[in-house]
Amino acid sequence: MGLRDVLQLQLQLNELYHRFSLLSSISPLSLLSISSKHTHLSSSLLSRRRPRRCSLRTMATMPSSSSRLRNLVPLSAIAAENATPGGASNGSASSSSAATALADDQDDSTAEVGYRLPPPEIRDIVDAPPLPALSFSPHRDKILFLKRRALPPLAELARPEEKLAGIRIDGKCNTRSRMSFYTGIGIHQLMPDGTLGPEKEIHGFPDGAKINFVTWSPDGKHLSFSIRVDEEENSTSKLKVWVADIETGKARPLIQNPDIYLNAVFDNFVWLDNSTLLVSTIPLSRGDPPKKPIVPVGPKIQSNEQKNVIQVRTFQDLLKDEYDADLFDYYATSQLVLASLDGTVKEFGSPAVYTSMDPSPDQKYTLISSIHRPYSFIVPCGRFPKKVDLWTSDGRFVRELCDLPLAEDIPITTSSVRKGMRSLNWRADKPSTLYWVETQDGGDAKVEASPRDIVYIQPAEPLNGEEPEILHKLDLRYGGISWCDDSLALVYESWYKTRKIRTWVISPGSKDVSPRILFDRSSEDVYSDPGSPMLRRTPAGTYVIAKIKKENDDGTYVLLNGSGATPEGNIPFLDLFEISTGNKERIWKSDKEKYFETVVALMSDEKEGDLLVDQLKILTSKESKTENTQYYIMSWPEKKAHQITNFPHPYPQLETLQKEMVRYQRKDGVQLTATLYLPPGYDPSKDGPLPCLIWSYPGEFKSKDAAGQVRGSPNEFAGIGPTIPIIGEGDEEANDRYVEQLVASAEAAVEEVIRRGVAHPNKIAVGGHSYGAFMTANLLAHAPHLFCCGIARSGAYNRTLTPFGFQNEDRTLWEATNTYVEMSPFMSANKIKKPILLIHGEEDNNPGTLTMQSDRFFNALKGHGALSRLVILPFESHGYASRESIMHVLWETDRWLQRYCVSNATDVNVDVDGSKENVGLGADSETKAVATSGGGGSEESNFEDEVFPSRQRSLLW
């Protein structure tokens, strides 16, 4: 993954962190978080109220080396969109609508009308102003501080939106709906001594401007960004593109024509050179939106008279009819224009549904991608027919590169792909050379083929009908290329079924040099991860592998940046690696005793030619259990670090929180790891056991050894990413023994916290979000002896409603009927006797977790007399965004835990020593009171999009 991609990923994580992380003050309650990565155990305060914070779980596939970039955003593409509503410039409580009643914290639940607020201690933490995001200039001499607001009000989520082709569109702005935004931009000069100069504010835009898509020009002299402002009746204007001069800080509209607006449904604008941008605009000829016919022209018909085999997941927000298709065309169609800093505007091509614009490194060409009809009613727009054309950057059409048909038939098996050209990109180390990959197995992972993928390469304008050249053949699925030069590139391939991942060394410019495997390992084996090559920025603005030189040494060295997973936790490192011999020298590693440090980026890459190891300059992040992340610049050969940020502690109430990483074993021998969070000054020997909350998320593995490896660091700042391991070794599928392994993991965790004396065996609660909610319901059904109550948010409970796979299940309902039925807590609703709180967003758009899942599960519970409560959050999606909703979730969580965990006096047949009576678990009745907790993730998707609430008497993860 390149620096740009890593930083973009971190922007998304950072936005989630500030929008969805929920905090709590803890009275008597403890927490345990179980993980395939590592489990987190946390005990609450005794009788004091102290705020605690919960953290957002990172994606399981995300490189650990980048996991702490909470405030860093891409150097060339800062786009604050995807998942947060736009709206008012602050997120204060006063911005809620008149129809929204915010009640004070009360124990009486009879007042069912209105939103509720947790105690002031928690409100203060939730409303703490977020830290700014950072972005470095191309020459690494300036830093942007991108300022943002706190949580948005519910009124912003209530804005009308069109749900079309798998995306949600704000018709007023002609953008994706629920966009986040920045409220201001500050520029700091990075001084030679590593300090920051005084802040210079970008100025000139309207009051209350909402800023998006901040992007540096290639020469670092200008910024481009979009601006929208509030209008009457809480509506927001369409977006305009603005530019700012870095030296003066003065901002102005890029296009003077007041009728030209940005179309930001897909790609929005990109710098073609230092003075010209290619901008996606709303066509001037566009009229009013199409009107829905009062009487339909005919029935809605879908046909499969050709007997095609088409299996699709439960995608949401799809097109429903021809009117929807027309509406999608209306909002998504753009007119591209060339807009220069001197005010010149020129149309580029004809209107179409353009989805991306990618200029070549030499700025001579641009790849233009678009989608077109026929559309589909069963798959989202990412699978619509796709066309990629090559244009010159001044607007001359060159040639069509591909026109892929509608892809409704991609198999559900993991590692299956679309047929035809994929991953069409520019070589980062060449002026204008294209490369792409094509499947040889029809895109079906179940088909045996060798090779499975072939990577091709071709000049932008081939001479004399020159055919594409084969660059490399792969027997696994293509996973990307890191380019360096004609002598070096790294090609990645992987296969999910076996978790195998390979890295190949190739010489793109030397046909006589045979490719060789550099690394061949399991993607689950984090202990063997050698790290990823560090990339440097080229003068063209692309990123290539940084070659490093040592004095009096002709070897070819690169820098490998690794997470450094060990049985004691992650100890990130930077290795000087010789490509030819495989020899490596560790030139930097994190302080494992107190701090968690990571290498973020090269800061000496503005120099041309190979980089000398004694002249390296890198950006690092540093944090501890009680100190939030700060950034440093470290220079060789002294390796002296200069701190460049001094962010205040966002939650000073949490500074004295205790944190410890612990290890324990499941009954089948699987090693589990956890992080134990304890109240300040808490001593179990003196203070006794506490109520405990376990918040977790299951994860699949192919081996016990991989599941037992430690992931994460005990020195990270109040943030975790655990899961419960579900293992399917060899030909066995993980879900074949899902419930059995789920219960075993929970028992091991509960046993550990009881053994340590931090958890009261009668007062252990369990909870989770998305797949973690699914887990919670299953544990209450199949391990009722462990838990006094549960909290399940935004889950899926009936697997027959997701018949073509879910999470990483590749088999259909008809291929694995028993698995689907046995895994569905809906089918065991009659077994759930412990109190369960269900929470769900009314507008959940995540595949699989339709709001209907919670509705039907609650009705099933009610039909069997279960003590249960269902909370549907208006306007909220899979992750909860508004201040009102998040505060209310905290109130609901605290009320539930206080009532059914903290105050629980029920006899659950567990004594303090951990022994219990046989409760019907089969032959194995030697289980003990257990507790678990962990991170969360999105059902059927790898993107974590959720809230982790905690509250006065509980700490949730």
**Model pLDDT, residue 32:** 55
**179 in a domain, yes or no?**
no
- Predicted local distance difference test score (pLDDT) of residue 55: 26
Task: With respect to residue 393, please indicate whether it lies within any of the assigned structural domains.
Answer: no
pLDDT higher than 50, residue 851:
yes
Q: Are residues 621 and 692 in the same domain?
A: no
- Under the phi-then-psi rule, with left for phi > 0, alpha for psi from -120 to 50, and beta for the rest, what region is 323? alpha
Mark whether 626 and 657 lie in a shared domain.
no
Work out the angle at residue 930's Cα, subtended by the Cα atoms of residues 925 and 933, and round it to the nearest 5 degrees: 140
pLDDT tier for residue 552 given thresholds of 50, 70 and 90: confident
629 touches 646 (CB < 8 A) = no
Written as six digits, the tokens of 405 are 């048909």
Residues 702 and 579 in one domain: no
Residue 115 has pLDDT above 80, yes or no: yes
- pLDDT of amino acid 235: 65
Asked if pLDDT for residue 86 goes beyond 60, the answer is no
Rounded distance, CA 891 to CA 880, Å?
14
**Other CB atoms within 10 Å distance of the CB of residue 785:** 24
* CA 303/CA 856 separation, integer angstroms: 30
Do 814 and 770 lie in one domain? The reply is yes
| Cis, bond preceding 374 (omega within 30 deg of 0) | yes
Contacts of 207 (CB under 8 A, 6+ apart): 229
Exposure on the CB side of residue 56, measured as CA atoms within 13 A: 24
Spatial contact of 598 and 573, defined as CB atoms under 8 Å apart: no
For residues 786 and 775, is the Cβ–Cβ distance under 8 A?
Answer: no
Q: Supply the DSSP string of 194-229, one letter for each residue.
A: S-B---EE-B-SPTT-EEEEEEE-TTSSEEEEEEE-
Are the C-beta atoms of 524 and 700 separated by less than 8 Å? Answer: no
More confident residue, 80 or 104: 104
pLDDT at 947 (0 to 100): 28
pLDDT of residue 233: 61
Q: Parallel, antiparallel, or unpaired for β 595-602 and 611-612?
A: unpaired
Query: Quick check: helix, strand or coil at residue 48?
Result: coil
Assess whether pLDDT exceeds 90 at residue 90: no
Note whether 716 and 842 are same-domain residues. Answer: yes
- Whether residue 379 is predicted with pLDDT greater than 80 in this model: the reply is yes
Residue 774 has pLDDT above 80, yes or no: yes
* The residue type at 889: V
Q: What is the CA radius of gyration of the chain?
A: 27
682 and 555 in a common domain: no
Q: What is the pLDDT of residue 44?
A: 31
Query: In angstroms, how far is the first alpha carbon of the chain from the final one?
Result: 28
- Digit-coded pLDDT (tens) for 727-770: 888 888 889 999 999 999 999 999 999 999 999 999 999 999 99
Q: Chain-wide mean pLDDT for the chain? A: 83
Alpha carbon distance 785, 750 (integer Å): 11
pLDDT of residue 663: 86
Q: What is the CATH number of the domain that holds 831?
A: 3.40.50.1820
Residues 96, 153 contacting (CB under 8 angstroms): yes
Per-residue pLDDT at 437 exceeds 90: yes
Residues 6+ apart with CB under 8 A from 227: 205, 206, 209, 210, 211, 212, 239, 240, 242
- Based on the fold, state whether residues 727 and 827 are members of the same structural domain: yes
Please give the pLDDT value at position 660.
Answer: 80
Q: Is 137 helix (H, G, I), strand (E, B) or coil?
A: coil
* Domain termination residue (choose one: 643, 665, 694): 643
Select from 624, 643, 662 the last residue of a domain. Answer: 643
DSSP track, 586-598 = EEEE--TTTEEEE
Confidence of residue 128 (pLDDT cuts 50, 70, 90): confident
356 is a domain residue? no
Phi, psi of 94 (to 5 degrees): -70, -15
User: Are 786 and 871 contained in the same domain?
Assistant: yes
Q: Are 718 and 31 in contact (CB under 8 A)?
A: no
Q: What is the pLDDT of residues 804-818, one digit of tens each?
A: 999 989 999 999 999
Are residues 661 and 632 located together in one domain of the fold?
A: no
585 φ, ψ (degrees, to nearest 5): -130, 125
Instruction: Record the pTM.
Output: 0.85
311 within domain boundaries: no
Whole-number pLDDT of residue 302: 87
User: Last residue of a domain, which of 884, 902, 920?
Assistant: 902
Are 745 and 790 members of one domain? yes
Residue 46 has pLDDT above 50, yes or no: no
Band of pLDDT at residue 904, cut at 50, 70 and 90: confident
The per-residue DSSP string of 75-120 comes to SS-B---SSS----S---GGGS-TT--EEPP-S-TT--SSEE---H
pLDDT exceeding 90 applies to what percent of the chain? 66
Are both 734 and 761 inside the same structural domain?
Answer: yes
In this prediction, residues 495-524 reach a mean pLDDT of 95
- C-alpha triplet 366, 371, 373: angle, nearest 5°: 145
Averaged pLDDT, 546-563: 92
Task: Report strand pairing: 789-793 vs 836-841.
Answer: parallel
Which are the catalytic amino acids? 770, 844, 878
Q: Verify cis geometry, omega within 30 degrees of 0, for the bond prior to 206.
A: no
At 708, is the pLDDT very low, low, confident or very high (cuts 50, 70, 90)?
confident
Query: Is residue 957 pLDDT above 80, yes or no?
Result: no
Whole-number pLDDT of residue 400: 98
- Answer yes or no: is 705 within a domain: yes
What proportion of the chain, given as a percentage, has pLDDT over 70? 82
Query: What total number of domains does the chain contain?
Result: 2
Which amino acid would we find at residue 936? Answer: G
Looking at the domain assignment, is residue 536 inside a domain?
A: no
Q: What is the DSSP string of 784-830?
A: TTT-SEEEEES----GGGSTT-BTTB-S-TTTSHHHHHHH-GGGGGG
Question: Do 626 and 661 reside in the same domain of the chain?
Answer: no
Residue 364 covered by a domain: no
Highest average pLDDT, of 30-34, 677-681, 754-758, comes from: 754-758
So what's the pLDDT on residue 554? Answer: 86
Estimate the crossing angle of helix 738-755 against helix 771-782, to 10 degrees: 80
Which two tokens mark 810? 């590749």
Q: What is the pLDDT of residues 200-245, one digit of tens each?
A: 999 999 999 999 999 999 999 999 999 999 876 656 789 999 999 9
Give the pLDDT score at 129.
83
With 80 as the cut, is the pLDDT of residue 79 above it? no
Q: 784 lies in which domain range?
A: 5-24+652-902
Does some domain include residue 78?
Answer: no
The yes-or-no verdict on residue 19 having pLDDT over 60 is no
Helix (H) or strand (E) holding 122: helix 120-126
pLDDT digits (tens, 9 = 90+) for 559-614: 999 999 999 889 999 999 999 999 999 999 999 888 999 999 999 876 777 899 99
Buried residues in 459-479 as b, exposed as e (16+ CB within 10 A)? ebeeeeeeebeebbebebbbb
Query: What confidence tier does 861 reach under pLDDT thresholds 50, 70, 90?
Result: very high
E strand or H helix at 124: helix 120-126
Least trusted range by pLDDT, from 324-338, 412-426, 596-610, 897-911:
897-911
User: Helix %, strand %, coil % for the chain, to 5?
Assistant: 15, 35, 50
Query: How many CB atoms neighbour CB 93 within 10 A?
Result: 16
- pLDDT score for 56: 23
